[in-house]
Amino acid sequence: MSKAYSSLENIKLCQLPLPGSHDAGAYGDIAVRSKAQELNITRQLNAGFRYFDFRVCVDNGVFYAVHGDDPTSNNYAAVASRRQDVGKNFIFEDIRKFCEAHKQELVILHFSHFVGKGGQDFNAKDDQPDFADLIREYFRDMLVAPQSSIPAYGACVTDGKQIVAIVDSDDTWNQRQGQMDLLWSTRSCFLDRYSNKYFDMSGGAAVDNLQAKIDYTLEDQEDGLLLGGSGHRNPNKFWVTQAVLNYAAVPHNGKSQNYYGARLMNPQFRDAYKNWYHGKDRKGVPNQHLQKPNVLLMDYAGYFLGEHANDPLHLF
């Protein structure tokens, strides 16, 4: 982002072209069926990813990354009284250290799918306020505060604000006074395009149908970017193009299903996104009715950049 600062500084965060990592914490020590990323968070940041989709699991006051029913050993942090029970390499610390070292970079963190381990729940009385406090504790001086109009990238970093923290929230998140202070709510600022058209297909193994599912998904994503109704792109909200795989669990030879699917899917979504951002349809034909996308969210983000791992600007 710093390399392209002069071109990006006046673009609102909700219109900024950003590579994103889906299930960003599902790397390392997690069941192969649930592995969504090969790179840890520091390596994903160094590779150019600036939007992170995090799923959160709590286990007795310690918060971990999770994907489906499979929690990882990758912890965000713990409440102060339990920090001695976990390792020191917190995901939150990795993100903060990166931002401190790169003052013109901005990172968006989206937290959702809050669950508990071993029969626990992610409860409104303790876990929600504790997790919200952790976000503020680690990032307070860097957090972009919620605003009625989403600010431009340059205005944020000039003010020393490098992190947007978004939570999937409902009214229970407001039970502790001031809890949502500095945290954005998806209810007011966010709309993702989670394409389910691949579920409409039947017959044969999911992998055999993967290209057809990709075609359906691209078609649906493009439809969402056309000027239209409530389910379409809102240029005043964060918009996430979900290029998720979500097909039958078929890991083999120690590799995740996402590894194999990403080799086929990610390059196609990369090329379609580039066309969309430049006012063309996914096949490269100019279309004045297409709105600009925002975040391109990918499984197996490491494969997404391939040989260009240190230069994400090749996208744009």
Which tens digits make up the pLDDT trace of 288-302? 999 999 999 888 876
The confidence score (pLDDT) of residue 205 equals 43
Instruction: In whole angstroms, give the CA distance from residue 316 to residue 229.
Output: 28
Q: Which amino acid is at 47?
A: A
Q: Where are the alpha helices (DSSP H) in the chain?
A: 5-8, 41-46, 91-101, 127-139, 153-158, 186-189, 210-225, 257-277, 301-305
Question: 193 - beta bridge partners?
Answer: 241
Q: Please check the confidence at residue 125 and state whether its pLDDT lies above 80.
A: yes
% of the chain surpassing 90 pLDDT? 45
Structure tokens at 111: 């937290």
Other CB atoms within 10 Å distance of the CB of residue 197: 16
Q: Which amino acid is at 171?
A: D
Residue showing tokens 């990813």: 49
Beta-carbon-side half-sphere exposure of residue 116 (alpha carbons within 13 Å): 12
Diameter over CA atoms, the chain: 58
Structure tokens at 9: 């500084």
Residues across the chain: 316
Instruction: In whole angstroms, give the CA distance from residue 214 to residue 243.
Output: 9
Q: Please check the confidence at residue 122 and state whether its pLDDT lies above 60.
A: yes
Mean pLDDT, the chain, rounded, equals 84
Mean pLDDT across 282-286? 96
The confidence score (pLDDT) of residue 255 equals 74
Domains and CATH numbers, the chain: 5-305 (3.20.20.190)
Q: Please check the confidence at residue 199 and state whether its pLDDT lies above 70.
A: no
Mean pLDDT across 186-190? 87
Instruction: In whole angstroms, give the CA distance from residue 72 to residue 269.
Output: 28
Per-range mean pLDDT, top range of 63-77, 177-191, 259-273: 63-77
Chain-centroid distance of CA 290 in Å reads 23
Report the number of secondary-structure helices (H) and strands (E) in the chain: 9, 10
3-state DSSP assignment of residue 295: strand
% of the chain surpassing 70 pLDDT? 83
Nearest to 24 by CA among 72, 87, 83, 58: 72
Identify the residue with better confidence: 316 or 260: 260
Q: Which amino acid is at 221?
A: Q
Structure tokens at 91: 């995901």
| Residue 36 main-chain phi, psi, to 5 deg | -110, -15
Instruction: In whole angstroms, give the CA distance from residue 40 to residue 198.
Output: 29
3-state DSSP assignment of residue 63: strand
